[in-house]
A and B are shown apart, each in its own frame.
Chain A
Amino acid sequence: MAMDRYAWPGKALSRIPFGIFTDPEVYGEEQTRVFRGRTWSYLCLEAEIAEPGDFRTIFVGDTSVVVNRAKDGSLHAFINRCAHRGAIVRREMYGNAPDHVCVYHQWCFDQTGKLAGVPFKRGVKGRGGFPREAMNEDIRLTPLRVQSYRGAIFGTFAQDMVPLEEYLDPQFTAHLDRLLSRPLRILGYQRQRIRGNWKLYSENVRDPYHGGLLHLFQVTFGIYRNTQRGGTRISAQKGHNISYSVQGTDQEDARTAHAGVGTYREGFSLQYPELLAYRDEFRDGCGLSIMSVFPNAVFHQIGNSLATRQIRPKGPNEFELFWTYYGYQDDSEEMIEHRLDQANLAGPAGLVSMEDGEAIELVHRSIAAGSDRHSFVAMGADEPIETSDILVSEIPIRGFWTQYTSIMGIRTGDAP
Chain B
Amino acid sequence: MNIEAYIRVLDLYARYARAIDDGRFQDWLDLFADECSYCVVPLENTRQALQLPIIRCRTRAMLSDRIVSLQQANIYNIHSDRHLISNVQLIRESPDRIEAEADFAIYQTDQEGESRLFGVGRYRTELVGPLQDLRIRAQHVTLDTASVPTLMATPL
Residues of A within 8 A of B (CB): 93-94, 186-195, 214, 216-217, 219-221, 265, 268, 270-272, 275, 320, 325, 340-341, 343-344, 347-349, 351, 354-359, 361
Contact = CB atoms under 8 A, between A and B. Distances in A.
B152 interface: yes
A220 B45 contact: no
Nearest to A214: B75
Nearest to A312: B147
B62 A272 contact: yes
Interface stretch (B1-9, B52-60, B101-109): B52-60
Given A341-B56, A344-B56, A193 B148 contact: yes
Interface stretch (B19-27, B63-71, B81-89, B127-135): B63-71
Contacts of B44: 93, 189
Contacts of B40: 349
Given A220-B69, A357-B151, A189 B50 contact: yes
B68 A190 contact: no
B150 interface: yes
Interface magnitude class on chain B: 35 or more
Nearest to A355: B75
A349 B77 contact: no
Contacts of A192: 147-148, 150-151
Contact of B64 (A194, A271, A344): A271
Given A93-B44, A188-B52, A191-B42, A272 B152 contact: no
Nearest to A320: B147
Given A187-B51, A349-B148, A361-B150, A355 B56 contact: no
Contacts, number: 123
Contacts of B54: 190, 343, 347-349
A190 B153 contact: no
Given A192-B148, A271-B61, A354 B76 contact: yes
B65 A271 contact: yes
A221 B74 CA distance: 11
Given A219-B73, A268-B73, 11 more contacts: A189-B52, A193-B149, A217-B74, A220-B73, A268-B72, A271-B61, A325-B52, A343-B56, A344-B57, A348-B148, A354-B76
A272 B74 contact: no
Contact of B74 (A93, A191, A340, A354): A354
7 contacts: A192-B147, A216-B74, A217-B74, A220-B73, A221-B73, A340-B51, A356-B151
B33 interface: no
Contacts of A343: 52-54, 56
B75 A351 contact: no
**3 A-B pairs with least C-beta separation:** A188-B52, A188-B50, A357-B151
Interface of B: 40, 42, 44-45, 48, 50-59, 61-62, 64-66, 68-69, 72-77, 146-153
Contacts of A275: 62, 65
Nearest to B78: A358
A349 B148 CA distance: 9
Nearest to A194: B150
B51 to A, nearest CB: 6
A361 B62 CA distance: 29
B147 A193 contact: yes
Given A187-B51, A348-B151, A357-B151, A216 B42 contact: no
B66 to A, nearest CB: 7
B33 to A, nearest CB: 16
Contacts of A359: 75
B55 A344 contact: yes
A320 B150 CA distance: 10
A252 to B, nearest CB: 22
Nearest to B155: A349
Contacts of B151: 192, 348-349, 354-358
Nearest to B152: A349
